Structure formats: C-alpha cells, structure tokens
Structure 1
Amino acid sequence: MVKFKTVQITDLTDADLEAMGQQGQLIDVRETEEYEAGHIDGAQSYPLSSLNTKFPLDQSKTYYLYCQAGKRSQQASQMLSDSGFTVVNLNGGYQAFQDKAEAEKAQTAPTKNEKEATDSAITETAQETTAPPSLKSRRKKVNYSGMQCPGPLMNVNQELKQLKPGDQLEVVVTDPGFASDIKSWASQTGNTLVDLKQSEKEVTAVIEKAEQQPKDLSVQHTEKGTTIVLFSGELDKALAAFIIANGARAAGREVSIFCTFWGLNALKRPNPGKVKKTGIERLFGMMLPSGPENMPLSKMNMFGLGRLMMKMIMKQKNVDSLPTLIDKAIDNDIKLIACTMSMDVMGIKKEELRSEVEFAGVGTYIGDTEHANHNLFI
C-alpha cells in the first residue's frame, strides 16, 4: 500500500528546491557516481542500494526524494515510508529538472541578433534611425502535418540550409515523437530550439539557425552508454535485449531501448481495456501478440508449444521472464522508447503500451547513440 505522496518535480520552483536543500530535506537516491556527475544544489546523497542499511535522519522532518527519472525514488519513498519516515517522491527526477532549466534558458537567453540590436540602441544618438528587422520578419513557417519520422527532421535540416544564421524556422508536425526528436536534433547540430509546444493533435517548434555550424558533428564514442534497437517481435530475441540492457545498467551504463515495428509488442500492457481503432487497425491487432507473454519463439515455436516449454524451463532455472525483465528495466531507469512511425503503421495506440514508455522517433535514438559506445540491433 502506497503511503507517500508524489509530486512532479517541475511543479516546484528553484526557490522551493533550494529551501529543501538548505534544510537538509532534499535527498538524491541515485548511485554515488551519478550524484557526483551532477545533482541539485543542496541535495544529500543516499543511494537506493544502501537505504536498507543507512538513513540516519530525523523522522520528524519531511524528505523529498528524487532519482534520474522517478522510478528509483518511488521505490525509495515506499521503503522509507514503511520505516516511519514522511516522504515525497519527486517524479520526473533530475532529468526533468535539467530539461526545465534548459528550456527556461533557451526561452530567456537573447539571440545574437537581439543583443546586437540592444547594443545598437544604447550607442545610437537620439536621431531617428532605421530599426533592425524583427525576428518575426526573419522567420519562415512550414507545415509537415501527416509526415512520419524521419521525414520532418530531414525537411527541417534541408530548410535550415537555405536560411541565414540567426534566421528562424517555425514548423508544425503531427507526429508526436517529433517533440523529443527535435530537442535531440538541435542539441546535436548546434542549432537553437527557441520554442516547443505540443498539443494532442500537433507539435509546433521554432528553431533558430546557429551563427556558426559545429565543425565536427561526428559521433565521439567517449560516453559510457548502451543503445539497443529492438526490431524483433520474438520472445528469445526480446529476452536477449532486456537481459543485455539490465546487465549494462548494472554495470553503470545509461541504457535506452528503441522498440520499432514488431519489437513494440514487448511494450504492450496487460489488459489495456477497450481501445478505439479502425477496421484495419483491429485486423492488424488480431495478428499481433497481445503482449510480451504471448510473443513466439524464433525457432521451434511449434504453434506456441515451444514457447510454453521455454517458459517452463526458464522457471525451473530461475531465469526471469520477459515481463519481469521489463519491470526491472523500468525500475532501473532504462529508457524505453516506442517508435511513433511504427505505431501508426501497425495500428498500435498509446493506450496499449505501458505508461513508462516514451514516444519518439529516430532522431531521439540517434541522439542517444551519440552518448554511447555500445550499440546493438536485435
């Protein structure tokens, strides 16, 4: 039974978090190396792995716990709540905290053109001068509604090549994965994501072309990360993917699994309820496994008999089932990404997939590979 409270970390102001830190109430439950790589000012480090043996703090206080994304802090909150502490789980974690800070910086930081205009206004005399062109007059608008990944990113790249440094491109896209993709793409290319808005029907982004493009956009394999593309919808291959992923996470790596086409079946939730679909989408669904428990073997499936034999042997040998491995991946903050283009093609809806899944496209996966030196296609 859950006894603790959960709030979204982005609902708190910097002043709120600072006050928590000053009063010794802000707790980082990530591993020590993650904490040392970056943390919220004032937060104390108490890794989840050691909470069973040490948490020598005052039970009369309320403690606010965060991890990288929210799963480990949820576990820690339950553990401390059961031990008599009053705790609040800060959902979204350090990643959401960083994303919010970057978004605020992008919105408030003046562009080079704005700074030049300000400097010019200060040095000009009272004589009437010609005002510099406004940003709106230097902004091109395009609409890629109905286009699927990676089409929007490819077109954005081509459009920006035609613009001058400092010019902006406003783009409207109906692919929901574009919201994540464009953030990753902008970070990789050195261009500035000035604004990003997402509704149920579309994503609107404003990108400003960099004054000077990065000299080298090649991937530098210096980061300690693992990325996996799960293309297969077969049980044994999905097992291999999640075994490797959990092993890599245990070794301290940041891990993401990009599930596309048949691999999306591994992300399905049990008993999703009634999901509204078209006739073709329902037909597709009838031919696909209803979830990871029903995925077939790649060899010797024998109309499902082989799968049952495999599960029986795994249980006898104390090998985790695929759903258990997926649960562990989520608990360990492994990023699970569903390819939105594949979802549209195969008639798979968001409601059918686990709530922890992120929805994105190839741009997000490519961004993750930039911070990885271990990339697999299964």
Structure 2
Amino acid sequence: MKYIIVGGVAGGATTAARLRRVDEEAEIIMCEKGPHISYANCGLPYYIGGVIKERDKLLVQTPESFGSRFNIDVRIHTEVKDIDATNKKVKIYNSRTGETYYETYNKLVLSPGASPMRPPIPGIDSPNIFTLRNVQDTDRIKAFVDDNEPHSAIVIGAGFIGLEMAENLHRRGVKVTVVEAAEQVMNMMDPEMAAQLHQHFKEMEVALYLDDAVKEFTPDGHQLKVSLGSGKKLKADFVILSIGVKPDTRLAQKAGIETGERGGIIVNEYLETSVKDIYAVGDGIEFPHPVTGKPSLAFLAGPANKQGRILADNMVYGNLRKYQGSIGTAIAKVFDKTAGITGLSDKALEAAGLPYQSTIVNAGSHAGYYPGAMQMVLKVSFHPETGRLYGGQVVGYKGVDKRLDMLAAVIKKGGDIYDLQELEHAYAPPFSSAKDPVNQAGFNAENIIKGLFKPLSPYKFHSREKENTFVLDVRTPEEFQLDHLDDATNIEVDSIRDNLDRIPKDKKIYIYCGVGLRGYVAARILRQKGFNEVYNLSGGLKVCKDAIAEQSNRISYHEELYVHESEPTEHAKNHFNVKTLEVDACGLQCPGPILKLKEDIAKIQPGERMRVLATDAGFYKDVESWCNVTGNRLVARSRENGEIRAIIEKAQPTEGVKVMNQGGNKTLIVFSDDLDKALASFVIANGAASMGKKVTMFFTFWGLNVIKKQEKPRVKKEFTVSMLNKLMPTSAKKLKLSNMNMGGIGSKMMRQRMKAKNVDALERMIDKAAEMGINMIACQMSMDIMGVTKEELLDPVNIGGVANYLEEAEQSNVNLFV
C-alpha cells in the first residue's frame, strides 16, 4: 500500500507516524513545500519573546530524524501542484532543483493547513509588516527585533496569536499597540468576559484600539504610519499582521474536491473527502460542530493531532473510528491573565438560533483562607430547560486551564449542568475549594432552571429603565459608602427581612452585590416574601463595572517616555522570604492600600518589616511615594500576575517622620474649573517653571475639566455619569468665568482681551506647561467619582494618587490651592 501525505506539522506528521506504527510494510511519502515538517506552531510567539530560549526546541522532529525513525520518505521543499484522481497520481514540484515529476498513490492525505489573511490595504506589502504562521516567519520577526531593537510595534488583530505576540513583545520592552476592528479582543468570547482583558490592558499600560480598522500603511522614515478608520494615526517601528487565517484549499479545489460554506474541505465522519481514496485533516477541513451540527472550522493543534491518529487507523483497518468534531477549546496567556473558551458563547448560540441561559461565577483559584488565592470569572451557557451544557469561558490569573478542561470534558460528552455539580475534582486548600467554581456554576444554573432567581446580564442592568426599577445594593454600609450606583438603595443582606417595607412591590427589583452571592441570597428572601420581579446581577458589581467601562485604552507612546522596568534583583527577591508582618491589601482601591499601611505600620517595631500584598494598580507608585514622605524604607517591590508586593522597613525612632529639605519647588492643587482661576494656576506654574523651578499641578474634582482633550474618543458610560459629564465643561475651551460670565459672553470678552494684550490663550499655556516639563497629575479617585477616563485627558497628564502629590508637596516651599 502506497500513501502520499501532502503537508506536515500536526495533521500530516501525526498521520504519517501512526501509519508506520500500524503498517510497517507500507510505502509512505510526505511532501512538504517548506523546510520543516514538524514544529511547535503554538510556541512561536514565546521564542520571539525570549521565553523559549533555543530555536531547536521548536522543532519537534527534523526531516532527517522523522524519516529515519519511521522509515518515511520525507521530501521537503516539495509541493504537490495537481491531483489526478482518476489515475490516482499527483504532480510534484521541487523548489530547490526546479524538477517536476509524478507519483502514483493508493491513498492520498491532504493536510494543507491554513494561510494568513492579507486584505488589500494600501501599503500592506511594506517590509516592516510581518505575519506569523511558520518557523520562517518567526525567524524574520526574531531577526528584526534582535538586530534593530525596535521601541514600538503595532499588532493588527486581537485573536489568540495577536494577543500572544503583544504579550511577548511587551515582555521584551517594546511599546505595543493592539488594533482590533471588532469591539472586543478574542471575538469568540462574550463581551463581558473579554472586558476583563480590556481592563487588564490598562493595568499593563498597553495601548488598545477597539472598533477601529486599519485603512492604510504609510512609510515614515524608518517607521510605519498606520491610519485608522477613526482618523487616528499611529506610528511604530514595525507591524505584526494577525487578522486571522483561512483554510488553504487551492489544491483540493483544483482537483474537484468539495469545499463547504466555511471555506474548508468537506470530510465525513471517517475524514474522507468527496473523492474516493482522498482524505483530509487539520486546519483545512470543515466538519459539523458537535453542539450545533452546523459546519465549523477548528484552527487548533489538538484536533489536528487526534484526526491524524483516527485517519491512519481507518485507512489501514477500514472505517472503524468516527471523528466526533471539535468544540473549539482554546486558551491564551494575555500578559498576567489567562483567558479560555470551550464550546459556544452566548452570541454564538444566538447566531445559531439555539435557546440558552447563562450564569457568571466569581470565585477564587483555591480556598480563600489559603494564601495566594486569586479571583477568576467563570461563565457557563446551557439549555434553559434540559440543562445541556453548551459552553464555558474563564478569565483569571491561576487555575483557568483546570476549570476549562473540566468544562470541555462535560461539553464534549454531551453532558449537562447537573454533571458539573457532580464533577469530582482534586481538592486540597492550595489547589481548589471543596466546592469548586465549576461545581458552583452547576448549582447556579440549576437555580436558574428551577426559577429560584432570575439572572441579569451587566448590559441589561446598565440599560435599565430607572422609573420602573428599584435598585437594591445588599452589601455592607461601608462598602456602599466606598462605591455604589447613584440610584441604588442600600439594605444589607442580613437586614433584608427587617426592611421589607422599604422595597416596592410594584417595580422590578434589581439586586447587586460584589460578586453575585449575597445578591442571590437576597433574591431568595424576597421571592419567598411575595416579591415576584426579582433579578440578581450576574457576576456582581465587579463584572458589571468592567463591562460598561471604556473598553479601549487609546494611549499614545512618546519616544522620550520609553522606560523599561527592571526586574527585582536577586537581593531584593530574597527579602520576600523574610518573616515579617503580613499585610493583605488586596481588593482595596486608592487610598485604601495607603490607609492600610498607615494603620499597620504601628503594629511593628522600628527596624522590623512588613510585607504588603495589593492588587490596586496605582499602589506600585504610591507605596514608594508614601515611604519617601513618611521616612520608612522601601526595601523591595515587584509586580507579577496582578499582584503588587512590597517590603517596607519601619524607620528608627530618631528618624520620626522624614522632613525633606524644602527647596524652591512649587505645588498647586487645581480644584476649580473656572476660566479665570485656571488661567491664574497656569500663569503661576509656567512662571515658576521658567525660573527653573520644579512644578507639580494636582488636578482634582472640577479641576479635571481643565485638562480634558478637545477631541475625545468615544467612551461608554453609565447613564448617571453621562448626565453628570454633560453638565460639565468638555475642555479648557469651554470654561466659564467665576464672575460676570453672562451666559458665556464674559469668557469670550476675557479671551479677546488676552489676545489684544498678547497673553497666551489657556490652551497654549497648557501646551507650554507640558513643554517645560511641569508634572501634571490627575487624581485617580476624583476621576473615578467624576466618571472621567484616562482617554479623555491630555496625553502629557499623569494619573496618580494622594501619595504622589504629598511627596511633591513635602519638597516644596509654595503650595497653592486654586
């Protein structure tokens, strides 16, 4: 028996190896048009990023080793050009020698893979634009990065490969911008799950432009200018094009082999094509989805490997094994987070016309009382009556892969949400909880099916009709004071039964808590007390706030700001093993972690240390400022997987509070957005800066309106915040006088007088302040309260907390409040 296999890598190489293991006497020829027949495709981004150090580790088998071990005639640089199915022969071309010849076969296997899409965008053939699909592509990108040491890169496309490339380039110190035409990254996921990743881009200070397509690439010196549909123009040293792939079916179509509506080669359950004795595996095939039964593609290494083994057995032993199809289980590391999906998302089920329901679980990666537990968000979709499990999505820091595998096993076997409840998992406090998040998802789903509560998605909650709904916050009063929705009434869950008279029965009751658990308890109480229209916010306030926040991170990089954060030294790392006071500030937002430091520093003696663990992104800078102001010593600091760790040594008694030498520095708190007061602030600040003084301006509350961009990106906000913002000036151009404004006439007269007297307009004063290096800080806490995002502020403005300002004030002899 003579087999010819067209294409290597996962599908073709696996088929060839299995064929030899089950048929020692067969003649097997493998034709691969490239130089490599078996390589770790999924590892390519990590070699570019330096995680995988040695290139040879990407090569699973060389042509020589593979041919020798399995006695296979491996022909690289060899492309099959045509198939003559009637006479069962193929036309072969050797690109090295230029030779063309024919080979006959008994059975032919097609493993053509997929090819990157390159739309006809002007300038797309520029030399600084790369795609990543094989080892040759990897070598080109790696050589460019190693040789040119680029400062900036733009990744076009936010699928798995695009995000992995963004992470690995970021790891190498490259300033990365990701551009995606869709409204979210990882478009196969539901938007509220992708939102967890969008907010992580902000934490990592990586630019993200969503809902914005590339219109043109233009050379600009040694860089490329990328023009977007929104009108925004970005610059970078090079571009990675990762907008998707399509099945490579050119050879199959020339041979008259049937292809399907998704563009792949149609195969039956035995992996046979429409032409006798011709089979196909890998990225190039189209097969019914196990859940929907509709044609689907799976650009994944796992299914391709499994197909190769099944096909080899069927060709040798007859059609005994059926291929069941792929549910599309996929996972990716996105900076410090991990995100994965298996089965179908809500929007995929909607498109397929299948009835569904879903629920979101916020849970820890392991038992909360065991140190190091990290939050994850898990979502499952299921049939609203039978409970059949349709899909699962997980985003978090630890344990994401474990939960995704558990969900995939149930979906692939056609299981239901009751199977999730019964899944037996390996439990010990360092690894899980007795009731695993996957079990909890099953319990939630059963409660929904039985009508014990009605789930409410973040988007339906956000778009509520306020006149017909009563929003109930069931968290503690302390939590409510720190952060709550404007139209919410706070009744703690434990007090619900004593406050039923405060809850109207003629409105829909929308309940929320932090993550959804207390909301469910409250919903059950109310339902059994005669309240019928009771809904619980799925995933709680945490998921909701991430989902309705601005999703893009439209920041621009400036060359002078390129700063590569160094890793902690080994000496610093060793300090994290010192036995000191443990302070857990995880979950606290500014100024919470700083207040926690102040409280706990009193618990230790001078010379002793405390180790602080926090998850507020601003804490990384604030802890240094706090130590500088208080005189305590910052021994070490690191940031990893969403956690910020700091070692602080308490000052000796003789040191007291550190008093800095007050030089000629100046600080201003800009609280007002009156035009005359803003002018005064910048006149003083620019005057001091022109005399060589270091100047810091801290903009808080109404003062934030002074430093807003005139042309701002679209930012989605909840209704109350949008209404508040409409009542405020949109930029410095729209500021009013504190007196004699007269409906705007006064401010216009003021601007005319300034022009007549050759006094710069406020907007020019702000530009000058940036040019002279004045440190303009926007208060993060005020931004949160006022509903102002970083994207709306001028590019030179930094974001900081109270500690940043106080550190500067300590070194100033003038501190003004305007």
TM-score bracket, normalised by the shorter chain, equals 0.5 to 0.7
| Contact 1:6-1:90 at 8 Å conserved across structures | no
Query: In the alignment, which residue of structure 1 is the partner of 2:611?
Result: 169
Q: Secondary structure at the match of 1:171?
A: strand
The CA distance in 2 between the partners of 1:301 and 1:169, in whole Å, is 54
Cα distance change, pair 219–6 in 1 and its aligned pair in 2 (3 A): farther
| Contact 2:585-2:596 at 8 Å conserved across structures | no
Q: Which residue, 610, 621, 636 being the options, matches 1:194? A: 636
| Contact 2:580-2:609 at 8 Å conserved across structures | yes
Does 2:598 correspond to 1:157?
A: yes
Paired residue type of 2:619:
F
The CA distance in 2 between the partners of 1:348 and 1:136, in whole Å, is 41
| Contact 1:178-1:360 at 8 Å conserved across structures | no
Cα distance change, pair 146–356 in 1 and its aligned pair in 2 (3 A): same
Query: In the alignment, which residue of structure 2 is the partner of 1:308?
Result: 748
Query: In the alignment, which residue of structure 2 is the partner of 1:251?
Result: 691
The CA distance in 2 between the partners of 1:161 and 1:224, in whole Å, is 33
Query: In the alignment, which residue of structure 1 is the partner of 2:807?
Result: 367
Cα distance change, pair 198–296 in 1 and its aligned pair in 2 (3 A): farther
Q: Which residue, 708, 711, 715 being the options, matches 1:275? A: 715
Query: In the alignment, which residue of structure 2 is the partner of 1:41?
Result: none
| Contact 1:183-1:193 at 8 Å conserved across structures | no
The CA distance in 2 between the partners of 1:6 and 1:310, in whole Å, is 47
The CA distance in 1 between the partners of 2:668 and 2:764, in whole Å, is 18
Worse-superposed segment, 322-331 or 222-231: 222-231
Give the deviation of 1:135 after TM superposition. 2.2
The CA distance in 2 between the partners of 1:252 and 1:139, in whole Å, is 43
The CA distance in 2 between the partners of 1:368 and 1:198, in whole Å, is 28
Query: In the alignment, which residue of structure 1 is the partner of 2:647?
Result: 207
Cα distance change, pair 162–267 in 1 and its aligned pair in 2 (3 A): same
User: Superposed, which structure 2 residues align to 1:117-128 within 5 Å?
Assistant: none
Worse-superposed segment, 334-343 or 314-323: 314-323
Paired residue type of 1:157:
K
Does 2:731 correspond to 1:262?
A: no
Identity of aligned residues (%): 32
The CA distance in 1 between the partners of 2:793 and 2:775, in whole Å, is 14
Cα distance change, pair 347–320 in 1 and its aligned pair in 2 (3 A): same
Paired residue type of 2:627:
A
The CA distance in 1 between the partners of 2:625 and 2:738, in whole Å, is 34
Query: In the alignment, which residue of structure 1 is the partner of 2:735?
Result: 295
Worse-superposed segment, 361-370 or 158-167: 158-167
Worse-superposed segment, 140-149 or 184-193: 140-149
The CA distance in 2 between the partners of 1:362 and 1:228, in whole Å, is 13
Query: In the alignment, which residue of structure 2 is the partner of 1:336?
Result: 776
Does 2:589 correspond to 1:147?
A: yes
Q: How many residues align?
A: 266
Paired residue type of 1:320:
D
List, as ranges, runs of 4+ consecutive aligned residues in structure 1 with deviation greater than 6 Å.
none
Considering only aligned residues, what root-mean-square deviation do their CA atoms show, in Å? 3.0
Q: Which residue, 76, 87, 91 being the options, matches 2:560? A: 91
Give the deviation of 1:237 after TM superposition. 0.4
| Contact 1:160-1:169 at 8 Å conserved across structures | no
| Contact 2:604-2:650 at 8 Å conserved across structures | no
Worse-superposed segment, 213-222 or 343-352: 213-222
Paired residue type of 1:356:
P
Q: Which residue, 178, 189, 213 being the options, matches 2:619? A: 178
Q: Secondary structure at the match of 1:91?
A: helix
Structure 1, unpaired ranges of 5+: 13-88, 115-133
Give the deviation of 1:185 after TM superposition. 1.0
Deviations 1:184-221 (A, max 9, x none): 1122322215124288xx66231322363561425445
Worse-superposed segment, 135-144 or 321-330: 135-144
Deviations 1:312-359 (A, max 9, x none): 111111111111000000011100000000011111111111121111
Query: In the alignment, which residue of structure 2 is the partner of 1:225?
Result: 665
Paired residue type of 1:178:
F
Query: In the alignment, which residue of structure 1 is the partner of 2:537?
Result: none
The CA distance in 2 between the partners of 1:170 and 1:220, in whole Å, is 25
| Contact 2:686-2:769 at 8 Å conserved across structures | yes
Structure 2, unpaired ranges of 5+: 1-148, 153-171, 174-557
